[in-house]
Amino acid sequence: MAKNIYVGNLPYSVTSEELREVFEQYGEVQSAVVITDRYTGRSRGFGFVEMVDNQEAERAIEELNGSNLGGRNIVVNETRPREDRGGGRRGGHRGGSGGWRGGYRR
């Protein structure tokens, strides 16, 4: 089973291909992606790498965490599962129709 790795504090100039090349020094990379802003296309400064072999992934995490990439000390660790944020709706449902209901006094 492949191991997912979070890579943070990336220089904004790093591409997904460059990220792949860094991790390929430690073993077979199944995928590597730098996350970009959907509106501007600019890097958001983090990405994810999926490595085929768990031992190779552990070694990459140990050796790359805190290392310098493009002038920045990157953060590398195993991804954690997303926490359940509850509910299926964004913003939640508060009920009622809104508006002020105090009436007017004269």
pLDDT of 1 reads 75
Task: From 47, 46, 57, select the one nearest 1 (Cα to Cα).
Answer: 57
Fold of the 3-78 domain: Alpha-Beta Plaits (3.30.70)
Reading the chain (106 residues) residue by residue, the pLDDT tens digits are 789 999 999 999 999 999 999 999 999 999 999 999 999 999 999 999 999 999 999 999 999 999 999 999 999 999 987 776 565 555 554 555 555 555 555 5
pLDDT of 80 reads 83
Q: What is the pTM of this model?
A: 0.76
pLDDT of 101 reads 53
* Bridge partner list, 47: 7, 34
